[in-house]
Structure 1
Amino acid sequence: MTQTADLLVTGASGHLGKAVLAHLIETLKVPAARIVATSRKPGDLGDWAARGVTVRKADYDHPSELAAAFTGIKRLLLISTDALDEPGKRLRQHKAAIEAADKAGVAHVVYTSLPDAQNSLVSFAPDHAGTEAAIKASGIAGHTLLRNSWYSENVLHALPHALETGKWFTAAGKGGVSYIARDDLGLAAAAALTSNFSGKRTLSLYGEKAWTVDEVAELARNATGKPLAVVQVSVEDLVQGMTGAGTPEPVARVFASFDAATAAGNLAGSPEDFEALTGRVPQPFAEWFANNAVPVLTETA
């Protein structure tokens, strides 16, 4: 029997998109013929096409093309875009995709959002809150909103530089982040996409516990043998420090908002939803750190 391509992954050429595709085929054993992968650059998906996945071009900045890309799809994973260079652009892109999915007759949308999107102090939280609202207001029958906590991989943005200088400047205070590996979030998205659930739900996906900056710094010191002092500063001082080091102010404010959100508890939570969705526990952050961060940190130490 010929398989119908009815599951679609947007942003499939990105890190998360590739993890979703891998879990669909390798973990969940979904026939490749059922899967459609879209990207602005479909040529980047050649390896997946070779495995039998249907590859289509989908550019959110060209909304008229999206409905055709979504034709025949019953369940669609909308991976949030990385368009943070222009205020309003990301939300506009998401709304275009939602409208196209509605027109194409998509029955269920899975969206990768942010914890506590309506209240989070993360600077781009309104993009996620607005997208969630647009999905709920659309004519699409069902949705699963995946409020993804911070990737474990995010610690590698600031930590290498902090180890070089011996000081980790932060405005996170004693707040913690329930880090979760990107691969685990890929599994969760794949599970939601293939689920028989047809209603409307919101799931918050966190790692096993919340880690403070002090606790992560301790992991780094133990792994590298290098001194690392955690220096608590205000959000404004953190912004000034980053801009003084050459970071454009808009970018510095985005990064500083992550610390503000951490201090407010916006990125800490329980793994219960992840476990219920996937049937697994998330990889412990300390284990991920040892297997993935330590090789990077010791190589640059």
Structure 2
Amino acid sequence: MKNNQGDGLMAYISRQDCGKAAACALASNDYHSAILNINGAEAMTISKFIEIGNEATGNNVSYQEITDEQNYAIFDAMGVPRTTDGKFKKNSEAPFSSDGMVTFGQAIREGKMSLKTNNFEKLTGDQPLTVKYMFEHSDDFQIGARHSQDK
């Protein structure tokens, strides 16, 4: 796997947990004007994320750090538009704009996503799903068509 996150930390969280946190915030009178960082169970590098994924799936995916421009080139070759104004390829492997994905990787690399909070637990009363759980139940967490041949 190639991307531009480097050794930056990110506390990965599932979209299901994000939805749960939003629903709890809307249902509560305490959070209507609050700004909360909602994140997962553990801050980790993309290398650790991949290691957990390999252990859970039996795959042997490796990580290679690339520059932002190299990351754009990969998305360009896949037909991913740089902005949301672009034309999206039907059944795209990446149904998002590359500007969003590359700048997200840059933010992680630069340490802007490393903050780990317990706001999810305070808001919902639950623990967030772990990365390991998400890999073990990967069919429940897929977005877009899957075409990767990585093993």
With structure 1 as the length reference, what TM-score do the two structures score? 0.39
Query: What secondary structure does 2:80 align onto?
Result: coil
The 2-side partners of 1:253 and 1:196 are apart by 36
Find 1:204's aligned residue among 37, 44, 48.
37
Cα pair 2:11 2:39 within 8 Å, conserved: yes
Point out where structure 1 has 5 or more consecutive residues left out of the alignment: 1-167
The 2-side partners of 1:295 and 1:178 are apart by 16
Greater RCO, CA 8 A, separation 6+: 2
Tell me, yes or no, if structure 1 residue 272 matches structure 2 residue 118.
yes
The 2-side partners of 1:198 and 1:253 are apart by 31
Q: Which has the larger radius of gyration?
A: 1
Identity, % of aligned positions: 27
Cα pair 1:271 1:281 within 8 Å, conserved: no
Find 1:228's aligned residue among 61, 69, 73.
61
Task: Please give the per-residue CA displacement for 1:63-92, whole angstroms capped at 9, x wherever unaligned.
Answer: xxxxxxxxxxxxxxxxxxxxxxxxxxxxxx
**What residue number does 2:103 align with?**
257
Query: What secondary structure does 1:208 align onto?
Result: coil
**What residue number does 1:239 align with?**
72
The 2-side partners of 1:183 and 1:261 are apart by 23
Cα pair 2:49 2:131 within 8 Å, conserved: no
Task: Please give the per-residue CA displacement for 1:166-212, whole angstroms capped at 9, x wherever unaligned.
Answer: xx111101012211122222222222112132773211111111121
**What residue number does 1:170 align with?**
3
The 1-side partners of 2:40 and 2:17 are apart by 9
From the superposition, tell whether residues 254 and 198 of structure 1 become closer, same or farther in structure 2 (CA, over 3 Å).
closer
Aligned length: 132
Cα pair 2:4 2:106 within 8 Å, conserved: yes
Tell me, yes or no, if structure 1 residue 291 matches structure 2 residue 124.
no
Point out where structure 2 has 5 or more consecutive residues left out of the alignment: 84-96
Task: Please give the per-residue CA displacement for 1:25-74, whole angstroms capped at 9, x wherever unaligned.
Answer: xxxxxxxxxxxxxxxxxxxxxxxxxxxxxxxxxxxxxxxxxxxxxxxxxx
**What residue number does 1:188 align with?**
21
- Which is strand-richer, 1 or 2? 1
Query: What secondary structure does 1:175 align onto?
Result: coil
Deviation at 1:260, TM superposition (A): 0.5
